[in-house]
Amino acid sequence: MSTTSTYEAVIGLEVHAELLTATKIFCSCAARFGSEPNTDVCPVCAGFPGTLPVLNGKVVEFAIMTGLALHCDIAPRCKFDRKNYFYPDLPKGYQISQYDQPIATKGFLEVRVADESTRVGIHRVHMEEDAGKLVHVGAAGLAGSDYSLVDLNRAGVPLLEIVSEPDIRSSEQARAYMAELRLLLVTLKVNDGRLEEGSLRCDANVSVRPAGQAQLGTRTEIKNLNSLRFLQKAIDFEIDRQVRVLSEGGVIVQETRLWSEERQVTYAMRSKEEASDYRYFPEPDLSPLVIDSSWIADIRAQMPELPAARRTRYVDLGLSPYDAGVLVDQMELASAFDAAAAVSAYPKAIATWLIKDVARLLNEGKLRLADLPFQPEQLARLVDMVERQEITVAAARKVLAAVVAEGKDPAALVAEMGLAAMADAGALRDVIERILDAHQAQVAEFKSGKTKVLGFLTGQVMRQTQGRAQPQQVASLLEAALARR
């Protein structure tokens, strides 16, 4: 925590999400990433005079869906406005956005840090078009470049702007809010969640105020936070900076700042623009948008299960809230869990295997489940065998990699590798007796009270049985054998 006890941080996030529609918001050009520069362009998105925008219905559908997922009110009627400014990446000289009548308002997002849950208000969600992209050629950055190129592929790509209330109180909460919002947007399939590529962008508004003061302090807005880590670090830096300025008797200037990852600081970019600078006025080429309640109901009915509901369902299946959270945060593990749990009597054990062993295998090999022949049903079968004590945990670990990476049948692997559990207590007793005979010195140590040697003897038994003996059974038989000596 970077706030001192005398100051409290106040944070609000503005998030821009590029929508995964096939086409742009006001024309039929493809809305995709990575095309040759200026190839997904037509007279409408290039801003030719005399062209007219036609609203893409899918954008409205995605906006309604997002609004509903954020518990917003959906406006029965809203409109588009022109936000006027000049920049070379904006050929029309204005951006079509929504100003005073956004499509969705007054929602919230539940955000958890450790065990504490906070409801962050959603002020508004509105639709707008993205601008083009400037490519500065030569030395790094605009200032040092020889010349700049304009790529209009991104001009007219649909965006949702999602504005939170200033309800966030720490950088950890801001990060958790952004992670949860990203998960929600990706779950809804309206956005790809790629902060690094800029298809999901986040600006952080940060202020501090003396603890207990009701009035908000002057804020700065930090832009270009293209990872969760940068978001958190930039906010921490900014809180410290503002507290320092105020403690030294200075004042905070309302301005836009940038995060520098090299220098680990935020620095001033420009003074903050006001809404009046943009000369907003209603877009005359688009009629007001009327949304009837049956459309909203249809969209609501099509919505997938949301992360919060999924966590609750997992807890109801017997998972700990922590495990439920870990699975839901990693969508591919959650899908694997659903498929495996559907055919198993042991959902809690499946969750543990996924979170610990499967996740470790994936991390070590830098693998993704989607790229593997992995079948969740096979994992379920493996876990079932462990739970029914047909194989030991150690044996299951030996076959897991082949099950995950090669999609092999665990029962066949167990038979092939001779890993079925030693169910025969008599055979295990014989092994133990032989080991104790061969380790008289350790047995004597144990007898003299040095019980630590038990670990060594257990290890010998496990080695001898190649992990096929159940640890609980080994422990009880070993104890009994030692007591008899």
Site residues, Zn ion (CB under 5 A): 27, 29, 42, 44-45
Partner interacting with residue 166 (select from ligand ADP, Zn ion, none; CB below 5-8 Å by kind):
ligand ADP
The closest alpha carbon to 173, from 243, 238, 109, 258, belongs to: 109
Pick the closer one to ligand ADP by CB: 256 or 464.
256
Sheet holding 73-74, edge to edge: 73-74, 104-113, 116-129, 158-164, 7-18, 200-210, 220-223, 255-260, 265-271
CB of 44 or CB of 395, closer to Zn ion: 44
What residues are paired with 16 via a beta bridge? 161, 201
Q: Shortest approach of Zn ion to residue 40 CB, angstroms?
A: 7
Gap between the Cα atoms of 74 and 105, Å rounded: 7
Minimum CB distance to Zn ion, residue 148 (Å): 22
Q: Least distance in Å: CB of 92 to ligand ADP?
A: 20
Task: Report the nearest approach of Zn ion to the CB of residue 99 (Å).
Answer: 23
Between 47 and 121, name the residue whose CB sits nearer to Zn ion: 47
- Beta pairing partners, 128: 159
In the complex with Zn ion, which residue's Cβ is closer, 50 or 141?
A: 50
**Smaller CB separation from Zn ion, 156 or 347:** 156
207 binds, among Zn ion, ligand ADP, none (CB under 5 to 8 A by kind): ligand ADP
Q: Which residue is nearest to ligand ADP (CB)?
A: 12
Q: Which residue's entry shows tokens 């302090």?
A: 217
Nearer to Zn ion, 158 or 410 (CB): 158
Binding site for ligand ADP (CB under 6 A): 10-14, 123, 163-166, 205-207, 216-217, 219, 221
Binding partner at 122 among Zn ion, ligand ADP, none, C-beta below 5 to 8 Å by kind:
none
Q: Cβ 141 to ligand ADP, closest distance in Å? A: 24
Q: Least CB distance from residue 61 to ligand ADP, whole Å?
A: 25
d(CA 86, CA 131): 11
Cα gap 162→202, rounded to integer Å: 9
42, interface contact from Zn ion, ligand ADP, none, CB < 5-8 Å by kind? Zn ion
In the numeric block, the tokens 């706030």 are attached to: 3
* Among Zn ion, ligand ADP, none, residue 11 binds (CB under 5-8 Å by kind): ligand ADP
Rounded to 5°, angle at Cα 202 from 11 and 221 = 50
* Residues facing residue 162 across a β-bridge: 15, 125
Choose from Zn ion, ligand ADP, none: what does 396 bind? Cβ within 5-8 Å by kind: none
DSSP states of 206-256 = EEEEETT--SPPP-EEEE---SHHHHHHHHHHHHHHHHHHHHTT-----EE
Q: How far is the CB of 7 from ligand ADP (least distance, A)?
A: 12
Q: Which does 165 bind (CB under 5 to 8 A by kind): ligand ADP, Zn ion, none?
A: ligand ADP
From the CB of residue 417, how many other CB atoms can be counted at a distance below 10 Å?
14
Tokens of 153: 């592929």
CA atoms within 13 A on the CB side of 247: 12
User: For residues 175 and 408, which CB has a smaller minimum distance to ligand ADP in the complex?
Assistant: 175
Q: Which is nearer to ligand ADP, 104 or 386 (CB)?
A: 104
* Residue 13 interacting partner from ligand ADP, Zn ion, none (CB closer than 5 to 8 Å by kind): ligand ADP
d(CA 265, CA 250): 19
**In the complex, minimum distance from the CB of residue 203 to ligand ADP, in angstroms, rounded to a whole number:** 8
